[in-house]
Structure 1
Amino acid sequence: MTDVTTNPTTRATRQDADGVLDGLDPEQRQVATTLDGPVCVLAGAGTGKTRAITHRIAYGVHSGAYVPNRVLAVTFTARAAGEMRTRLRDLGVAGVQARTFHAAALRQLQFFWPQSIGGTLPNLVEHKASLVADACHRLRIQADRTRVRDLSAEVEWTKVMLVDPDDYVRVAAAAGRGEPGGLDLATVARVVRTYEDVKTDRAVIDFEDVLLLTAGILDERPEVAATVREQYRHFVVDEYQDVSPLQQRLLDLWLGGRQDLCVVGDASQTIYSFAGATPEHLLDFPRRHPGATVVRLVRDYRSTPEVVQLANSVLSQATGLHARARLELIAQRPSGPPPSFTAYDDDVAEASGVAARIAAEIRAGRSAKDVAVLFRTNGQSQALESALADAGVGYVVRGGERFFSRKEVRDAVVLLRGAARSALPGHDLGEETRAVLGSAGWSPTAPTAAGATREKWESLQALVVLADELAQKRPGATVADLVEELLERSQAQHAPTVDGVTLASFHAAKGLEWDVVHLVGVSEGLLPISFAETPEEVEEERRLLYVGVTRAREGIHLSWANSRTPGGRATRKPSRFLDAVRPQATPAGRRPAAGGSAKQRSSGPMTCRVCGGALSVAVDRKLRRHADCPASYDEAVFEKLREWRSATAKAAEVPAYVVFTDATLMAIAEAVPGSTAELSRIGGVGPSKLEKYGDDVLEVLAG
């Protein structure tokens, strides 16, 4: 722990402090100037809550009310903590601790463990899977990957909810936990106890232990608690609706009965109750802290009125605890396009239709990184990845390999660190960065090759863009400043934006925003998910949809599929959450035929060229015939195309379907196009793929 000192160089004039308030709306200004707690900020989506609380901290420091290193701001993700530190630095405030709950607790635990417990702090394990698997093995319980995952989540739940293993059966039954991993609650309780034994035998701790052990030391060692409370005098908690009982216990111990606390949250964005998050601490804050200042932020600066109206309508039907906490957002942006609601025949057709729409937006000038496709379950991603690849659209799956863990990024940072030692002052940061990364494979134009080559370039391009942004934000910034920025971002896993359409689950998208958002699979069984049975569980699914809608700045497109597979029975129905929001008089849209114009699409259904019947399935429309109607292609030609595709995919280090799907190859083999114009008329051959593979395909066909 650092000593508490007051550095006069961090104190600015009253004029500087007042300047921090410039540009804040009345409610944000009230948050920023109310420096004495307790303060509760109820902040709707897009209302500038991070702006309000960072300006509050900056105003407190610049006015002399706060000492920077005595302020602790906690949030829930490393990315959010990194963004908060960046904003505070831009406001001229250094030294404020902005960390996640776990990072703050781990720092304290590492410092106090030797003097409180003695010896070395046990190793921290990032994943519970091997420990849970070992516990199951000791109990002779068969455990596949799915069961281990479910039991790991249950172990975490017991700890964040402060449930003792001896009380687990009673508490879990009352909470309606069902049968985690397909096991009865008594068996799960045995797994939980044995899991703790496995940790002891391996001399390790998990992430929840970091909070539990820190809370235990603060509770049992008054001298340690006094040191921490002297170090940190002012607390800010972001995303307070997601606080678990364990985190609240630690926060109470940090405070020690004091009232120097500002909490910020939105009960309508509580989407992690399965992991122990509860909005009750936020909603009960005024009762637990009599005399607290409560400020409501409802001016939405993120989204157009059309998006805001849709978001408000989704929540207007909310029931239960969250209904009374609903904030009616007021749009501040100019009007934009209306939301769209589209029904597709099946999941494949939906993915293809969404990909085609995105490809058209990109051709019209939209940047790929400003578009997102959000879904309820990760299993929905594969069809979307395939469809985007077919459409020649680059994408990034959120939750993949961490940006700063990529080899090309690590190598680039090493090169930049070396360049920083010999860089001359006064040189343009962007130009210097381009020169350095040029030796690592960066080029002014993107490579035409797909796969690893393109991904490497996109990673380096993200660093170039970051250098340009830093130079614009901080004139005179050097390569050394860029390296420092990258180091801080790496520690916080605050990655720069990579140019590509984002694919993410609703949960992973929380806290992010894009110009255009596509919400797919908005149907019964997916949203709400089929296992959401209680009213409380269904309401959480409604809040998931609300979170998804409020990620959009300008355009929002909602879609669903009538059946899961091509040719399947149309048994799905649009989500009940859309009943009050989608235009009832407008029939649900149908996926357009690939490559067809609006005029062509409205002229009638596509028919089979063999039997003349209507084509209602996506793959059939691509082939221009029913799958069970006789094929007209030469098997030898089709096999040559498959061999070419395999070699091309291997060279590019991508799956074969990324080059062309089987259906597209069949369509090419049947049509046998003799020119690029004829090839471009085949479904699945977009402009990008025509440019990449057109000549090669025509050469295979000519041979």
Structure 2
Amino acid sequence: MSFPGPERLGRGAVIRPGQPHPFEAEAHFKVDYELIDSAERLAEVVDRMHRTWQGRRRMVVKLEVDQHRLRQPQVINQPLWELGADFTLVKERLHFLIWANNWDCRDGKPIWWWGRKAANLGGTVKGWADIITADGSHVWVDGGPREPLDLEVVSSESIEAGRLVLQRKPDRVLSQDLDPAQLAAVEHRSGPARVIATAGSGKTRTLLARLRYLVDNLGVEPGLITALAYNKRAADEMKQRLDRSDLHIRTIHSLGWAIVREVLDNPTLLEERGVRDILRQMVPDQRTPNKDTIGYYLEALSDTRMKLSDPTDTEDERSDIPGFARVFHRYRDRLRREGLADFDEQVYLAVELLLASPELRTRWQRKCRHLLVDEFQDLTPIYLLLLRILASPRLNVFGVGDDDQTIYGYAGADPKFLIHYDRLFPGAAEYSLDTNYRSTAPAVKAAKCLVEHNRERVPKQLVPSTGADDRPECFDIQEWPDRDITDKAVQQIQKWLDSGGWAWDIALLTRVNSSLLPV
């Protein structure tokens, strides 16, 4: 066995107090009880350790705390609104980062624990690398982030999955369907990545190509990958386009529901009518003609959970939901007693269950070692919290979205999650898809002019594709009095149809549904 191993593997060491450093290192960390008990300092140190591990830079960790205390999994039973969307299982991440890619040098003779674990799967700890496999190959067992390497390596992810298999050395992706920017994102080397994908730039194509690349080119086990779409329609479209039974695409809610069903015995998912029936038994009697008073509580229930709000604050901010804080707790207690869940509870309860059960959390984290997320800009705080829990401790999330296209702000979606992506997923690489393949050149120019007025955004280009229709008449703004707008729209549509246009090529958008009646 070669100590400390090839420099490009970036292996570090864990030592006891007073031990000399076994080699030169770029980063040094002291883990003592003072650090463990200081939440702010611990978060800062773990962030630096994560970036060091992600960048494969050698570190030396001086370990001055009881290893058994570090191993203890976190059990969190706090109300979710006290945690917030940026909560992370920082002590579990610390334990992972101490040992993920570091030699155990505490007793003088270095031990590479990944080699020992590989031996349990049929390898032999000897030779000039870490182990010798059954076919006589000398290979390294890599504890760093999974990425293409010019060495014979077995990824620690494979070892955790019970597989002693060599990591592939991927060929370059050759596809006529990807432009250079899309290809760069697809071939992202390792760790988290933010892909800013402007309208019509092929974000879904890029995400699906990345999913195939991980499995077909890099050899990542399909069971370690989960791709998430924002809604069922998008998930179904992605499944159809991918046409692969071995790869997993689901919505955030279906993911939450799968977690809930693993814990609860045959739970029932309520539709809105069932939710209303329960609320009618709980809300104060305030019948008002022509007002849907139950609807106010429905809205507040959703807002409180999606935004991770304190139910007391929700009640204080509104005048139409008296007693809501008490209703919130009574309603959720009843759901749990009767094995019920509503739409938002699928995610909210899943987060609570994951935080309260380290065993459940570990099982689902293994299924999300590589997490790909579409429409990242529309994540609400509860969605983000779920994803960060599942992606821990590696926080390996490939997020695709456009902060200029946030449409669920009313539900708590915040473009800052995408803008400040690196704070949530340390060491994240950044990619940008700027070419619009969908729209005419004048439409792209107008859209660019509009979104540049957004105050908080990621600076980006927005350009039409080569050969895009650039006739000025492709984008025509007409101003009419409100009373005439619908008639003018009908006339324009009829004009297009009379000139040979097809109805399915025409889209009509309006602010309220009543405007569509004459059409």
TM-score normalised to structure 1 length: 0.47
Distance across 2 between alignment mates of 1:309 and 1:374: 20
Q: Is the 8 A contact 1:132 1:191 kept in 2?
A: no
Structure (1 or 2) with the larger CA radius of gyration: 1
Give 1:125 deviation, angstroms.
0.8
Distance across 1 between alignment mates of 2:418 and 2:393: 17
Structure 1 residue 365 corresponds to structure 2 residue 511: no
Distance across 2 between alignment mates of 1:316 and 1:205: 41
Structure 1 residue 152 corresponds to structure 2 residue 302: no
Distance across 1 between alignment mates of 2:330 and 2:352: 21
Distance across 2 between alignment mates of 1:215 and 1:42: 27
Aligned runs of 1:281-296 on 2, under 5 Å?
Answer: 281-296=417-432
Q: Which amino acid aligns with 1:330?
A: V
Structure 1 residue 96 corresponds to structure 2 residue 96: no
Aligned runs of 1:193-592 on 2, under 5 Å?
Answer: 193-196=329-332, 199=335, 203-319=339-455, 322=456, 324-332=457-465, 333-336=468-471, 337-347=473-483, 349-380=484-515, 384-386=516-518, 388=519
Q: 1:105 aligns with which of 250, 256, 261?
A: 256
Give 1:190 deviation, angstroms.
4.5
Distance across 2 between alignment mates of 1:29 and 1:126: 42
Give 1:253 deviation, angstroms.
1.5
Aligned equivalent of 2:10? none
The answer to which structure has the higher helix fraction is: 1
Aligned equivalent of 1:80? 234
Q: Is the 8 A contact 1:237 1:264 kept in 2?
A: yes
Q: Is the 8 A contact 1:242 1:278 kept in 2?
A: yes
Q: Is the 8 A contact 1:162 1:246 kept in 2?
A: yes
Distance across 2 between alignment mates of 1:301 and 1:326: 20
Give 1:201 deviation, angstroms.
7.2
- Distance 1:228-1:161 versus aligned 2 partners, 3 A rule: same
Q: Is the 8 A contact 2:266 2:339 kept in 1?
A: no
Task: Render the CA deviation track for 1:135-168: whole Å, top value 9, x for unaligned.
Answer: 4765112255543333312210101122232443
Distance across 2 between alignment mates of 1:201 and 1:250: 23
Three-state SS of the structure 1 residue aligned to 2:497 is helix
- Distance 1:334-1:355 versus aligned 2 partners, 3 A rule: same
Give 1:221 deviation, angstroms.
1.6
Q: Is the 8 A contact 1:40 1:294 kept in 2?
A: yes
Q: Which amino acid aligns with 1:156?
A: S
Distance across 2 between alignment mates of 1:6 and 1:373: 54
Three-state SS of the structure 2 residue aligned to 1:80 is helix
Q: Is the 8 A contact 1:71 1:234 kept in 2?
A: yes
Q: Which amino acid aligns with 1:165?
A: P
Q: Is the 8 A contact 1:128 1:152 kept in 2?
A: no
Identity of aligned residues (%): 26
Three-state SS of the structure 2 residue aligned to 1:352 is helix
Give 1:101 deviation, angstroms.
0.2
Distance across 1 between alignment mates of 2:377 and 2:448: 19
Distance across 2 between alignment mates of 1:31 and 1:23: 13
Q: How many residues align?
A: 355
Give 1:106 deviation, angstroms.
1.1
Distance across 1 between alignment mates of 2:198 and 2:207: 14
Three-state SS of the structure 2 residue aligned to 1:258 is coil
Q: Which amino acid aligns with 1:104?
A: L
Q: Which amino acid aligns with 1:126?
A: E
- Distance 1:379-1:219 versus aligned 2 partners, 3 A rule: same
Q: Which amino acid aligns with 1:155?
A: L
Q: Is the 8 A contact 2:440 2:470 kept in 1?
A: yes
Q: Is the 8 A contact 2:434 2:461 kept in 1?
A: yes
Q: Is the 8 A contact 1:267 1:326 kept in 2?
A: no
Give 1:259 deviation, angstroms.
3.0
Aligned equivalent of 1:18? 173
Q: Is the 8 A contact 1:38 1:259 kept in 2?
A: yes
Q: Is the 8 A contact 1:132 1:148 kept in 2?
A: no
Distance across 1 between alignment mates of 2:200 and 2:339: 44
Give 1:42 deviation, angstroms.
1.0
Give 1:200 deviation, angstroms.
5.7
Which residues of structure 1 form unaligned runs of 5+?
Answer: 115-119, 389-703
Structure 1 residue 29 corresponds to structure 2 residue 183: yes
Distance across 1 between alignment mates of 2:408 and 2:401: 13
Q: Is the 8 A contact 2:228 2:249 kept in 1?
A: yes
Distance across 2 between alignment mates of 1:344 and 1:282: 38
Q: Which amino acid aligns with 1:226?
A: T
Aligned equivalent of 1:434? none
- Distance 1:267-1:132 versus aligned 2 partners, 3 A rule: farther
Task: Render the CA deviation track for 1:108-150: whole Å, top value 9, x for unaligned.
Answer: 322x215xxxxx2431112167537734765112255543333
Distance across 2 between alignment mates of 1:60 and 1:199: 39
Q: Is the 8 A contact 2:282 2:327 kept in 1?
A: no
Give 1:4 deviation, angstroms.
6.1
- Distance 1:225-1:316 versus aligned 2 partners, 3 A rule: closer
Q: Which amino acid aligns with 2:271?
A: E
Three-state SS of the structure 2 residue aligned to 1:374 is coil
Q: Is the 8 A contact 1:286 1:294 kept in 2?
A: no
Q: Which amino acid aligns with 1:152?
A: L
- Distance 1:159-1:305 versus aligned 2 partners, 3 A rule: same
- Distance 1:162-1:275 versus aligned 2 partners, 3 A rule: same
Aligned equivalent of 2:222? 68
Three-state SS of the structure 2 residue aligned to 1:343 is coil
Distance across 2 between alignment mates of 1:225 and 1:190: 30
- Distance 1:80-1:140 versus aligned 2 partners, 3 A rule: same
Q: Which amino acid aligns with 1:325?
A: V
Give 1:257 deviation, angstroms.
1.8
Q: Is the 8 A contact 2:307 2:380 kept in 1?
A: yes
Distance across 2 between alignment mates of 1:129 and 1:276: 25
- Distance 1:109-1:130 versus aligned 2 partners, 3 A rule: closer
Three-state SS of the structure 2 residue aligned to 1:53 is helix
- Distance 1:205-1:378 versus aligned 2 partners, 3 A rule: same
Q: Is the 8 A contact 1:72 1:97 kept in 2?
A: yes
Root-mean-square deviation (CA, aligned residues, Å) is 2.9
Distance across 2 between alignment mates of 1:232 and 1:99: 12
Q: Is the 8 A contact 1:298 1:330 kept in 2?
A: yes
Q: Which amino acid aligns with 2:460?
A: L
Task: Render the CA deviation track for 1:492-542: whole Å, top value 9, x for unaligned.
Answer: xxxxxxxxxxxxxxxxxxxxxxxxxxxxxxxxxxxxxxxxxxxxxxxxxxx
Distance across 1 between alignment mates of 2:164 and 2:209: 20
Structure 1 residue 131 corresponds to structure 2 residue 264: no
- Distance 1:122-1:23 versus aligned 2 partners, 3 A rule: closer
Q: Which amino acid aligns with 2:207?
A: I
Three-state SS of the structure 2 residue aligned to 1:344 is coil
Structure 1 residue 47 corresponds to structure 2 residue 201: yes
Q: Is the 8 A contact 1:299 1:329 kept in 2?
A: yes
Aligned equivalent of 2:310? 164
Which residues of structure 2 form unaligned runs of 5+?
Answer: 1-159
Q: Which amino acid aligns with 2:421?
A: F
Aligned equivalent of 1:544? none
- Distance 1:167-1:94 versus aligned 2 partners, 3 A rule: same
Three-state SS of the structure 2 residue aligned to 1:73 is strand
Distance across 2 between alignment mates of 1:122 and 1:230: 24
Q: Is the 8 A contact 2:365 2:391 kept in 1?
A: yes
Give 1:317 deviation, angstroms.
2.7
Distance across 2 between alignment mates of 1:13 and 1:59: 12
Give 1:239 deviation, angstroms.
0.8
TM-score normalised to structure 2 length: 0.62
Give 1:5 deviation, angstroms.
8.4
Q: Which amino acid aligns with 1:373?
A: L
